[in-house]
Structure 1
């Protein structure tokens, strides 16, 4: 998507938008600025003309000019200059991924527009809404994105129908991201129709290119290729970096689908060069994944790894988590292709944990300030050249000693044979020891299983005895006493005491049923683990002891035997109990996540309590933590703890079901 800039003065000064990409024209505008050194509104208008022409081409040199516009406009109380300067500043920082600063200057621009009812101000404010729709889309705030696009479209449909197609295009992209395909296609067709009716050939090409991108995302390659061939002459003639980027990216995807990897790689690399030229971090990251994947498919893993490392480092530096997910997924694929299953699994685990973090962050960010969502970590790190220098030094040393290698080759061969023989012997010993350890572990797990099953059976028996036996007796006593009340004449004092006794008996019945329910929750047997955990958390939350929230993801696919479900339920009970009793927590978050393809269940319990030293668990005297560890070992799972004094506690339990 392309930003809408404040184009009124541009159209008046240049007669159209074709001159925007001309470097000579930008140089002439800077020369005009230099010829007018006086700090007045005339200089502001000259700077304004330059920044608006250059904003969609290269924003590297703009910041000093924009800051000067703001300073002079404040000195001269020039409201129009502030409106345009703040709006341009929003574009400048958004292009660099600094969204907190972009939204800050957008707020300043809206304040500058207040009270100005001129048609120019109304249109420029609509352009600002459009740009904010783009920025909100980039950070995943889709509701706000639709809001800003709608505000922009409402005005531009009346005042500037020749550019409203860009707004429709943005709305199509949002609905496409939300997987609302019908709405997305509807706005794509509106965008193309509006551009063909009111826009220039370049605008028509832009709408087609974005529609093609979404078609490719839905694997509609045939229609995409037909439309791409249709707009190619216009794109080449316009020679605009952003359109050339989208064209080469789409062309590369189509060649990749056809397995024509040479042509696909060439187009992806060309798109990468255009992304770097327009200084747009969003586009720079978007092209790296497809390029690296195509290189891997083409059998060029070394070069693919360079682009994957760049994708990972930049996604971390720019704090764009969705692209870090792509990096982890592709790095896992890269190591799988090299049969390095351990490292591949590590990256898959990172991807899973980051996915959970993104889901959690999206829930929290709905009520958080925009400025706290994304913070730019800093500048990109460049590749260190020391490794190449080390390789050169090693090559020189190898050449120098090659003669010595020939002389000792025989001795080395004998030594290698001896080492291999010894290594084979040691490996057999390790294998035997591993088998012994495995048998001992299996024996311990069998014993643990017997203990846990016995414990649950005893819990179930006691729960039934309490509910059916003692519960029935207490209910009978309550009924008998209630019947007796109407047949016995008592003084008011005795009647009051009798009522208190009935209430105490009723409380005892409720407490007995609560204890029986906790020992073997009937809801777990009837409705499953997810419902049981939700009910238990709601009960804790309603008690007022602590504020507890429960979230579940994918649990409708969870299917496990009764023993596994009960064991997981007990683990959750112990973790929640520890947080309440020992953590001094005010808020608790419990999450259950089941990934059906991998059959992986994850339980997370987080609190904002006082935390503790993890090393202290080794010397813990209580049974709570040992019970948790034994149950996790029984299910062959793993447990991870993140805590520290004053930092709260987060416990993650993962189990292969």
Structure 2
């Protein structure tokens, strides 16, 4: 039998380890683990992936932590090199199954890293759904291990994936979830304002300018340019884009000018070319000469960088300006060059714009056949794009949900039925009327037979259910009567005998303190058993006080934390049998949580409403079945289910990240 000290250590120490910070991992791992981790970190940070893989294979692992570390790093190196190795999936899943049964913070953190590797592995294999699921689970593990930086990184990665897939609401959800960690944890991370920038971009895409402006301004006003100049420049550029979309040209010019100055200082040619291009677009209609100057400056940078796709877009705008200036020969040459470059990438819209521009240019030059050819290519490409968009829309509809598919099938069925009815009206009335009458008669007969069989099945089911309820009622009442009888016998007879024995020992002046202590323990145990069988508090003071006394007793006996919340604002009077049954349900679930599932924390909530009584219980236990012949141990829920069925209630069992949850509903008795 375990002592209280042993019981305390088994309960408290794993909980403390789970709450340990990532910075305290060194207290729970060996020196060999720390040395190996440091060397592997150096190798992976420097891009020496093959050396890191060889290190994990040649270095002996002294414990489970090192084995898991080596598995994680080795497969992470495969993923970083985009090597689709089949053992990545099998090794990581084996390590995950092993680590998920461990409660220490190091194992939880390593499990998070393993799940992260699996997430990237599946994503690289174009299995986005599995990849996102593993990355999400990884973020949960990092949060449990208090590795907030890694959790934020994963949540941001998931948000980026959803954003690239065009699912802006899901992207915003994960960005906001990552931001929430900053409000609850002291995290030294550079991701905070990066997340703000991403959220601003989402709202800008959705034309929610006020929200986007608030995010961008928060970055510009709260970060010094010297701290993160690139991020500030990006926010400034996006503010320029925002004001350009709102038609606030002067404001947009100012922000573009500031962004261009910042990118020039950072020697960021790519972003500088982008700003110059945007400046050209800003004054395209009002100041075509200045617009052409900006476009040429942007083009010169892009030509140095060899960015063909970006050059195609800028060349198109230059050709458009030339066309408006009636310089058709230059417009044609520049547009032709833009067309060649646009074929090298996914610039379908720009490609279409160039084709229609070339058609207009050649028409102005009198090359009507070429103008017609360009116009035909434009129309063909537009038709292809329409088909592609149509297929993409169908795919999205298929992925929304199974319910929408069923609704579509029902709608199609209704359309087909209406069409058939219309055809029947146009057919020969007499022949179809006779056939319809025959079919109708058969349907009526089939429905009558089906209805009769259904009624018989319902009657049989109700009869069996009534028998089961009657048997359960008799069993429960018999158990309660027997418990009451035993409780009175223990209290009145055995308790009295023990009291007499104790008084006799004291009166005889015996110096055997050990014997006296045994008698006192017997008295306490008999009193506890008697209260378990039939608590006197329930009879005298009612259900709420009885549950308070029950929780207090288990707190003392099991050294467990049990929180009891009873909302008595709408509490209704219950008869004695209902109070006993609800008391027994809570008592039996507490016993299962503490003894079967090894929980050390329970939250019990009870409330009343117009329908009946609701009891909700949550614990942090993990089920560990006991191999015994006793059917009550192998099936601890059988008695609870019988009692709930007798009360015509509902029992729901489930689990969450930290343990189990149970909900019991007992309806009001029918008046």
TM range (shorter): 0.3 to 0.5
TM-score, normalised to structure 1, is 0.40
Normalising by the residue count of structure 2, what TM-score does the alignment of the two structures yield?
0.40
Larger Rg computed on CA atoms: 2
Greater relative contact order (Cα < 8 A, sep 6+): 1
